[in-house]
Structure 1
């Protein structure tokens, strides 16, 4: 692997031979680099884009020629090329939102422009709501607001993160070998107002994303500096209160610092109050160094506690035993916290080469009480369980990027190395009563898991064709000490995954691009599964392919479409709620994604995403091969107004009925929801009103086919158990900038 990386690096460095032309940098008014700005030479229509440092280079450009520089949300500039050899600096000022500024970039992640558009048009309601910015991603909450959301994407019931890799500033959110479930991704430590950009990709095609990145990945970048301080207060239905403070501490020529705080309280719509509270604190300091280099340090702390009414059986609601917002066992709930320290060092080697290194450390605690089956196992004390863990997580990622030029065009080389280490002590699954009495320990042990990885990827531009070959290698070391055994016994297993990728993008012009993406990915199994099964079941592979394109039939209409395929090998799943291992078998998914962004007038915008997936198990008889809870048809969209001081929108969410078990004899009902918001700005003051579930629909946010028994029943019943979705609710928002 090392020889291949060095050979590829040497080849690309040898081809570095930039000819005569112009070099430059595109900046915003606050001197921050603009990534992906479109620069076109008006004389020849030859074009390029600014890189992560804001730098660009164009050949065949002479003094006196003109360049047009455009970027979404900024005023287009036409600048003359100077008659000296100095680097050209282009500063863009923010302007009225205009989709005509969008151009199709020759970039594997060019489809991300959809989230750039949405970020400027749609307010974010909560930390989990930011995930809905990813087209086709649906979420559901089923434990009082404190538990990580259930995620659905591309025909997957991802549970809490088994098949989508989520990260913040290079720091992983997914927890391996988690007490509740593999890949558990609790994003609640993220304050929405601090988000700068959302980067996402669907499928296993991206070398810089490894474990869990099968259906896709989502990466959040946070603001390095503020454009001013902000205080927000929100008051809403169900005794909901949220306050946010962003405080600009330092805004100098060489350094920036700010502090962000969030506090949230809510009782929820339930008969038994959820007594939910969440506290977030975050601070960040960024120092600008010579030649564009910079160093950044981030620290944050989050804790949350809540009570929950849990998932309730449909039969108890139907016969009037409880209402839709009642509970069979209202002693559910929990506590969780996470403290993070992360640093980033961007070292600019020259105008074509830089190295980005990210390091992080987290302390994480989790304590969850649930009761899914009520009195099925223990008819006297009930079936409450406790899941808990105490984790330390540390890692480092380092990536070199080098731009080069060959006789056929431009290119970029990326080479990365990294390490992640999880030390997860006292991982427990226990039977409890009333959150107080320990009845029985079902699982109890210590987990150590290490992931070493390396990858290389190159973009080769041959005229209008971009070819992106890539290779990723991951090596895992799994360790587990079972504390329930009478003698000490540390078990260990090792496994390596090799994941090649090959992608093609053909840019017809600045309005049309077609692509073919192919690749192999994986998600690691829980350490307890690894050490219980043969080595072949440790890192089941996922094979994927996407065929699609990005189209702009008119200047203000942006379309994207993809036909995709994903196959998963045999895997074994650790069921954290029961402490058992279940084989899930092979599976195949095919589907279609379609997205639309349209600027109807200067101030009226429309968007829609439609996603279809056919998910089936392989090797099972027809009619018994459904994948439980896999969504087949989902859609989101709406209308947004952005006019002077007034902004607002009307949005919908649709999820189709889907099978809740393998033979589709139990169905999870779909829903259609309509939300609205309006905001008005008066100088530094902004007033807003948000209404959710405008139609007052009775809907189920999460649903499961579960075998349970109530106290009054002699025989168990398998049926839909659900967490009710919130009824009609309103929230008033006041924001003040200073």
Structure 2
């Protein structure tokens, strides 16, 4: 039995790609932060690259996490933040990608994709708030597009999470903390109908330090029946989740200089609500010569989201709040089969073939709103989008020191969009003619029917990996190459007319259609070694070239498709366990990311801002054309210290650093650096009880959890008055459409604490042995 605090055991390094269920044998045992033993993968799967990492549930739950998504920060180089309440999908950063809510990072739970294509808020929206970290059996984290089973949204990497199948003893935990945080969690399993039922759930509340409380209310449940093992068995899983919240979004930093509270809100009715229900099944069979896996899933989700990022830039009277909604049903499945062969003069080989398919039925749109009351609808669409993907690879052991994995996948995507926008719901705009605006003759921008249509695309993606072990079993070298992609919003592939602006002649403004699939090319070279006793280290040099980027646009609250970019970087990871009760982890990822080519639209805007009447406002300083990749993190670093054995006192300290990053293409606006320390201390009784205190942002970092650079307007801005007739200062339409440029941010929460007490769930409370409250203070005596 391994102790609960064990972190990142030494991994086998001379290995080739394994099929998704490799290494998920649940015969071994491990203690967790809750105390009782749970089943987890006995040994990590074989790794095809130096950057891939495999983590058990016990490892994940050792590190304190402020919110569920932050549990994934155990993956080196990954930073997870939040800026809009505790129900909206997290913001992710990895390898120089501002992943927004998941555009280039593929997330899976029990083979179900979490990324939502053509989503109401942003392409690839991946909400991990329903994940229950204590129920995780394993996380397989891959960087880059080098594995054939990784398709859409896998440019930066892929994270596959898997829940437990059963626990030998039920557990529960109750947590209370600062800012009205409360949580009750429990899980248990029992035998039923020749298999095992495993269930768990949580209820949580949180207000936060905000003047408008988050008022987050979450309920979450999982129920699974399984028979056999992961590699040879059957399982059926149901999940249900609901959440609602208020959100204090990012605020212009210029307001803080005027005495505005960092915890205040400009748009107090922002927030949202979401639900998610799913049913999935998995069947697997393994023999001495082959193995097969079939997975199927169906999921229904809803989201209503109210945001206001530009405040009073577009509508100086009602404000710029807008509602984004998404209703979808997703159905899909995967099938894999692997054959063990002796080819190429009896070289040990494994040939794998597979198919993946998914179809989304989606109703989504965006509406302008005031205090959560919509008053017009720029987009209202009914979509159907599907794909079928075929892939195959062959891994061969050419010699004891040489392995290769070569494969390819073929993706075919299709979809159709039916605009449902009614004429009387379309945005109302003043008509523009040669004499200028004519408010007496407004008309509606009714573009829904014109933007309907269908699109299809296909993409062939080759992949290859070489694993070398030239000297011994402690050091391996890796060469990896692969083509990846992300799909674009289907609406962008059929749109012909702009939905919120007119042309200079007062007519509809034409827009350029986009392709459905946007490819990337990635490569890396790396080394992983355990040459020094008790120290595991890895170094990786990587390169990624994208054909297009999806970037955040403040004035629309969504992502837009931009020109391609190049990223080159290095990743260093080190894990050292000198003693059974002491471990260190240090990881750093440094990336140089730049756009390619010239942004002609930005260049034209820059010229407009240099004209008389515009130059004086200085907006050109942050709107010069450039090649900085917006919000690309140049450095992400973490350091972790862990103390303690399986029982008794334990502790954990985690430091995370995110370097300043350019917020505009010209690099004029930059974000502040982010550095936070979280800590954990507690005591575990041998009977399974646990008392634990978590402290977040313990040194009171006053940085911004998220920062953007764009234009906005608030009534106290001189430009607001100039653009709305309050000043005689000269302005131009270009300046007024851009607004007051500056950094907007969402502050890191003040230092907070959470106290957790947990223990056995399925015991007779009348006869069970309660924890000894004096035991933690019975220190070892060093004298007689």
Question: In the alignment, what sits opposite 2:770?
Answer: none
Out of 230, 233, 236, the residue aligned to residue 174 of structure 2 is 233
1:523 aligns with 2:461: no
User: Retained in 1: the 8 A contact 2:85–2:271?
Assistant: yes
User: Retained in 1: the 8 A contact 2:50–2:477?
Assistant: no
Contact 1:179 1:576 in 2 (8 A): no
2:459 aligned with 1:504, yes or no? no
* 1:152 Cα deviation from its structure 2 partner: 0.4
* Counterpart-to-counterpart distance in 2, 1:362 and 1:219: 17
SS for the counterpart of 1:668 is coil
1:728 matched to 2:691? The reply is no
Residue 701 of structure 1: aligned partner: 705
Report the 3-state secondary structure (helix = DSSP H, G, I; strand = E; otherwise coil) of the residue aligned with 1:553.
coil
Deviates more, 1:242-251 or 1:258-267: 242-251
Choose which of 87, 93, 98 in structure 2 pairs with 1:152: 93
Query: SS of the residue aligned with 1:658?
Result: coil
The answer for the alignment partner of 1:302 in structure 2 is: 241
Alignment partner, residue 342 of structure 1: 280
Q: 1:589 aligns with which of 537, 542, 567?
A: 567
The equivalent of 2:651 in structure 1 is 648
**CA 1:440 to 1:140, structure 2 compared with 1: closer, same or farther past 3 Å?**
same
| Secondary structure of 2:312 counterpart | coil
Separation (CA, whole Å) in 2 of partners of 1:275 and 1:55: 39
Matches within 5 A, 1:46-445: 52=21, 107-108=47-48, 112-113=52-53, 115-116=55-56, 118-119=59-60, 121-122=62-63, 126-250=67-191, 254-288=194-228, 293-320=232-259, 322-348=260-286, 350-406=287-343, 407=345, 409-425=347-363, 427-436=364-373, 438-445=374-381
Q: Compute the displacement of 1:47 (Å).
A: 14
- Shift, 1:532, TM fit: 3.0
Instruction: Provide, for residues 446-496 of structure 1, a one-character-per-residue CA deviation record: whole Å limited to 9, x for no partner.
Output: 111001101001111111211110100110012111112669675111110
Shift in CA distance, 397/141, structure 1 to aligned 2, threshold 3 Å:
same
Corresponding residue for residue 85 of structure 1: none
Give the Cα separation in 2 of the matches to 1:713 and 1:658: 26
Determine the C-alpha separation between the residues in 1 that align with 2:284 and 2:68.
27
Take 2:21 and 2:82, find their aligned partners in 1: how far apart are those partners?
A: 35
Q: Which fold has the larger relative contact order, with Cα–Cα distance below 8 Å and residues 6 or more apart in sequence?
A: 2
RMSD: 3.2
Q: Distance in 2 between matches of 1:537 and 1:647?
A: 53
Deviation of the 1:637 alpha carbon: 1.4
Cα distance in 2 between the residues matched to 1:589 and 1:389 = 32
Alpha-carbon distance change, 687 to 524 in structure 1, aligned in 2, over 3 angstroms: same
Shift of 1:184: 0.2
Distance 1:239 1:281 in 2: 22
How far 1:294 moved relative to its partner? 1.0
CA distance in 1, matches of 2:461, 2:13: 35
Cα pair 2:696 2:752 within 8 Å, conserved: yes
Match of 2:690 among 678, 686, 691: 686
Distance 2:467 2:398 in 1: 10
* Runs (5+) with no aligned partner, structure 2: 3-8, 32-36, 424-447, 497-511, 600-623, 720-738, 762-784
Please give the residue correspondences for 1:17-28 in structure 2 after superposition, counting only pairs within 5 Å: none
Deviation at 1:327, TM superposition (A): 1.0
The Cα of 1:284 is off from its aligned counterpart by 0.5
| TM-score, L = length of structure 2 | 0.79
Give 1:713 deviation, angstroms.
Answer: 2.9
What is residue 628 of structure 1 aligned with on the other side?
Answer: 630
Q: 1:576 to 1:255 in 2, by over 3 A?
A: farther
Structure 1 residue 244, shift from structure 2 partner: 0.4
Question: Within the alignment, does 1:532 sit opposite 2:474 as a pair?
Answer: no
TM-score by length of 1: 0.84
Gap change, CA 1:574 and 1:613, over 3 Å in 2: closer
Q: State the SS of the aligned residue for 2:281.
A: strand
After TM superposition, give the deviation of residue 418 of structure 1 in Å: 1.8
| SS of match in other structure, 1:354 | strand
- Structure 2 residue aligned with 1:43: none
Residues 292 and 196 of structure 1: CA distance in aligned 2, closer, same or farther (over 3 Å): closer
SS of the equivalent of 1:667 reads coil
- Cα–Cα, structure 1 residues 537 and 571, in superposed 2: closer, same or farther, change >3 Å? farther
Structure 2 counterpart SS, 1:378: coil
In the TM superposition, residue 684 of structure 1 has moved relative to its aligned partner by 2.0
In 2, the alpha carbon distance for the partners of 1:588 and 1:688 equals 44
Q: Matched residues in 1 for 2:68 and 2:712: separation?
A: 33
CA contact (8 A) 1:121 1:642 kept: no
Please state whether the residue corresponding to 1:540 is helix, strand or coil: strand
Residue 419 of structure 2 is matched in structure 1 by: 482
* Residues 1:71 and 1:194: Cα distance change in structure 2 (over 3 Å): closer
Residues 60 and 71 in structure 2, CA contact (< 8 A), matched pair in contact too: no
Equivalent of residue 576 in structure 2, options 598, 602, 611: 598
In 2, are the aligned partners of 1:270 and 1:326 still within 8 Å (CA)? yes
Residue 50 of structure 1: how far off its partner (Å): 12
Q: Is the 8 A contact 2:53 2:75 kept in 1?
A: no
Q: Superposition pairs for residues 9-24 of structure 1, below 5 Å? A: none
Q: May I ask how many residue pairs the two structures share in their alignment?
A: 658
Provide the residue aligned with 2:531 in structure 1: 553
- Matching of residue 447 in structure 1 with residue 383 in structure 2: yes
Query: Residues 653, 257 of structure 1: CA spacing in aligned structure 2 closer, same or farther, 3 A cutoff?
Result: same
Tell me the distance in 2 between the aligned counterparts of 1:137 and 1:174. Answer: 17
| 1:403 positional shift | 2.5
SS at match of 1:584: strand
Report the Cα offset of residue 629 of structure 1.
0.6
Cα deviations by residue, 1:345-404 (Å, 9 ceiling, x for unpaired) = 1123x2221111110001100000001111111111111000001100010100112233
TM-fit CA distance, 1:611: 0.3
Say if 1:359 and 1:596 are closer, same or farther in 2 by CA, change over 3 A.
Answer: same
Q: Structure 1's 37 and 595: CA in aligned 2 closer, same or farther, altered over 3 A?
A: closer
How far apart in 1 are the matches of 2:108 and 2:560? 28
The Cα of 1:55 is off from its aligned counterpart by 11
Instruction: In structure 1, list runs of 5 or more residues that go unmatched.
Output: 1-26, 29-34, 41-45, 57-69, 75-93
Going from structure 1 to structure 2, the CA distance change for 1:49 and 1:476 (only over 3 Å counts) comes to closer
Shift in alpha-carbon separation, 1:615–1:48, aligned structure 2, 3 A: closer
In the alignment, the residues of structure 1 paired with residue 16 and residue 656 of structure 2 have an alpha-carbon distance, to the nearest angstrom, of 39
Q: CA deviation at 1:569?
A: 1.0
Pairwise CA distance, 1:711: 2.1
Aligned equivalents of 2:554 and 2:296: distance in 1? 30
CA deviations on 1:64-109 (whole Å, 9 max, x unpaired) are xxxxxx99979xxxxxxxxxxxxxxxxxxx99x9xxx999x86316
- Give distance in 1, aligned partners of 2:102 and 2:24: 36
Identify if the C-alpha distance between structure 1 residues 47 and 156 changes in structure 2 by more than 3 Å, giving closer, same or farther.
Answer: closer
1:316 aligned counterpart, secondary structure:
helix
Give the structure 1 partner of residue 521 of structure 2: 543
| Distance in 1 separating the partners of 2:185 and 2:302 | 24
Structure 1 partner of 2:672: 669
